Amino acid sequence: MPSIDLSIELAGIHLNNPIIAASGTFGYGEEFERFAELSRIGGICVKGTSARPIEGNLPPRLFPTSSGMLNSIGLENVGVDAFLRDKMPLLRHVGCTVFVNVFGSSEDEYVEVVEKLNTCEGIAGYELNISCPNTKHGGMVFGQNAVLTGQLTAAVKSRSRRPVIVKLSPNVTDIAELARAAEQGGADAITVANTFLAMAIDTDTFRPRIHTITGGLSGPAIRPITLRMVYQCVRAVRVPVIGLGGIAKVEDAVEYFLAGASAVQVGTANFHDPRAPFLVLEGLERFLKKKGLSSIRDLIGQMKL
């Protein structure tokens, strides 16, 4: 049987395979280098990068749930200048496609980060985290308003020298509307989806489990919901959709591909096993061989109705 072709073209970017380590779960890559050869996976989306350093929220910031995890890290990061100076030199030499997750509290901050990243070699594209409050619009979250989503995407796209991927928030009534807004703003691809707003309370102390009371829920518990959202977005837009949410084993990833996702991101599973993206990748090749398929493209969007 001929070898399996796992390569894809994502927003004009060639990836050796469709498995990407999700932002916020894989650090800057260097933390995971000792566990596996980073060049094996399709790409790394480094943790969110802002115009200036952010220390993040006070602890407790993480809480394991029965089927996932609550987090309220607060987008802690070193800031774009330190990222370019201290993190990119290593990332340029790991042989892996690098995506940089970008966020801010205003359009201007997003653009500032992207313009600085534009000057750096070794970055394939940008992923916009739009699950952030817009301080110039009374704290309204970019990703919960179609107009703001479209405006922000257009503002960044007009200044970007690289493909722009928009990471949608699931905390909306109609995610397809937001997907269309991002596409109309010029997004080259979309990621579906970020974490779900959630909370937990300690019944012994009567206190919230995390300092900020609410946080983002991720992990296997959200997979059926994000899978539905991926399916809806694939039908709503023409740009590629990246599936994200609760992928821990190859069958989880296969569900997203069948729903139409062009690539997937592995996130919370990295906290349980730093080899998770690599294990999913190995399993994907075995799965395709077992099904007699020669290419990942033979799997994408092939759900039978």
Are 172 and 147 within 8 A, CB to CB?
no
How far apart, in whole angstroms, are the C-alpha atoms of residue 253 and residue 305?
A: 19
Please state the φ and ψ torsions of residue 153, each to the nearest 5 degrees.
-60, -45
How far apart, in whole angstroms, are the C-alpha atoms of residue 48 and residue 51?
A: 10
- Residues marked active site are found at 132
Helices (H), 175-305: 175-184, 223-236, 250-259, 269-272, 276-290
For the chain, the average pLDDT equals 96
How far apart, in whole angstroms, are the C-alpha atoms of residue 114 and residue 271?
A: 28
How far apart, in whole angstroms, are the C-alpha atoms of residue 178 and residue 166?
A: 10
Q: What is the model's pTM?
A: 0.97
How far apart, in whole angstroms, are the C-alpha atoms of residue 47 and residue 162?
A: 18
How far apart, in whole angstroms, are the C-alpha atoms of residue 137 and residue 140?
A: 6
Strand partners, 191: 167, 242
Query: pLDDT tens digits for 159-206?
Result: 999 999 999 999 999 999 999 999 999 999 999 999 999 999 999 999
Average pLDDT over residues 286-298: 97
CA angle 207, 211, 215 (to 5 degrees): 105
> What is the reported pLDDT for 2?
63
Query: pLDDT tens digits for 105-121?
Result: 999 999 999 999 999 99
Are 253 and 247 within 8 A, CB to CB?
yes
Which positions ≥6 away from 279 have C-beta within 8 Å?
249, 250, 273
**Domains of the chain by range and CATH?**
8-54+74-199+219-298 (3.20.20.70)
**Side-chain half-sphere CA neighbours of 155 within 13 A:** 18
Query: pLDDT tens digits for 266-280?
Result: 999 999 999 999 999
Are 275 and 249 within 8 A, CB to CB?
no
Query: pLDDT tens digits for 47-90?
Result: 999 999 999 999 999 999 999 999 999 999 999 999 999 999 99
Return the closest-CA partner of residue 131 out of 226, 195, 78, 181.
Answer: 195
> What is the reported pLDDT for 140?
77
Task: Record the tokens describing residue 269, joined without a space.
Answer: 């599973």
